Amino acid sequence: MNIQISERLKKIASFVPEGSVLADIGSDHALLPIFLAAQEQIASAIAGEVNEGPYRASCQNVRQHGLGKVIDVRLGNGLSVVQQGEASCITIAGMGGSLICTILEEGKDKLKGVQRLVLQPNVGEEQVRIWLLKNGWYLEHETILEEDQKIYEILIARPAISADELRLNYPVTATLSHQLTLTKEELLLFGPYLVREHSEVFLNKWAGELRKLGRVMDNMANSASAESIEKRKRFEEHYKRLKEVWTCLQKEQPSSNYSKNGSPSL
């Protein structure tokens, strides 16, 4: 069965362990469970939808592919569609980091017995990392990709064995190979694996973030209030540090577009 899905979903699918019982929350026509079931990569799946329209669309899609015995489409909010101990892997993709954190927090009791989380926030990745750290989930891996001029980060986590193991994810400071020292807070912002790999896509993302931050500061320059001046000062300090990190990492990317053309217009 040939199922066509986006490169983003294919990458997410690659992190779902073979033989998993999958719970895909916010399933979007059940595309991910259908793809995995068609590949016989999962034992079964729950496709969760919070709204009636997407729920019906997912049900129809599952029926059309003849996978009703493998995929159970359920209507409900977040992890309310899952019973405790029912799923071994949970995927939540295509929504903001804040919403992903809310879903995980409100369904925390449903996470007992889950062996892997595969999370793809569209924004607010730092919030997701903070939630994982505070709630005893060890970040095993991260990856970043670009598709249709959009950049996506995927975070893969499992229950931590101990508090000491969690500290390995985010030490108080971390010195990278190029002698750049980052704080724990900076590792949460950039991603401990992504910043070490600092791929071209990663650099592209942070060049864009610097440009956006620069525009915000330009807009703030029009206000002379004490509050705005103080806020702009904080933004400038943040901008300066981000650019310092970006510049240091970019120097190690001789094959990137940035190194060919010099520093982007930030």
Q: pLDDT-based confidence at 219, cuts 50/70/90?
A: confident
19-54 pLDDT, tens digit per residue, is: 999 999 999 999 999 999 999 999 999 999 999 999
Residue 49 lies in a domain: yes
Measured distance CA(162)–CA(237) in Å, rounded = 35
Q: What does the pLDDT read at residue 218?
A: 86
Total structural domains in the chain?
2
CATH number at residue 103: 3.40.50.150
Q: What does the pLDDT read at residue 255?
A: 40
Residue 189 lies in a domain: no
What is the domain range of residue 256? 198-261
102-137 pLDDT, tens digit per residue, is: 999 999 999 999 999 999 999 999 999 999 999 999
- Hey, how many other C-beta atoms are within 10 angstroms of the C-beta on 32? 28
Cα distances (Å, whole numbers) of residue 13 to 37, 174, 180, 184, 263: 11, 31, 34, 29, 35
Mark whether 163 and 207 lie in a shared domain: no
User: Is the model's pLDDT at 262 over the cut of 70?
Assistant: no
User: Is the model's pLDDT at 194 over the cut of 50?
Assistant: yes
Q: Give percent of the chain above pLDDT 90.
A: 82
Residue 11 lies in a domain: yes
Mark whether 54 and 141 lie in a shared domain: yes
Q: pLDDT-based confidence at 232, cuts 50/70/90?
A: confident
Of 123, 148, 169, the domain-final residue: 169
Q: What does the pLDDT read at residue 227?
A: 79
Query: Cβ(65)–Cβ(3) under 8 Å?
Result: yes
Mark whether 84 and 153 lie in a shared domain: yes
Mark whether 19 and 138 lie in a shared domain: yes
Mark whether 59 and 151 lie in a shared domain: yes
How many residues does the structure list for the chain? 266
What residue spans of the chain are helical by DSSP H?
Answer: 7-13, 31-38, 52-64, 97-106, 125-134, 163-169, 184-190, 192-197, 200-220, 226-250, 257-261
What's phi and psi for 217, nearest 5 deg? -65, -35
Mark whether 164 and 210 lie in a shared domain: no
Q: What is the pTM of this model?
A: 0.91
Q: pLDDT-based confidence at 1, cuts 50/70/90?
A: low
Mark whether 104 and 160 lie in a shared domain: yes
Residue 185 lies in a domain: no
Measured distance CA(119)–CA(156) in Å, rounded = 6
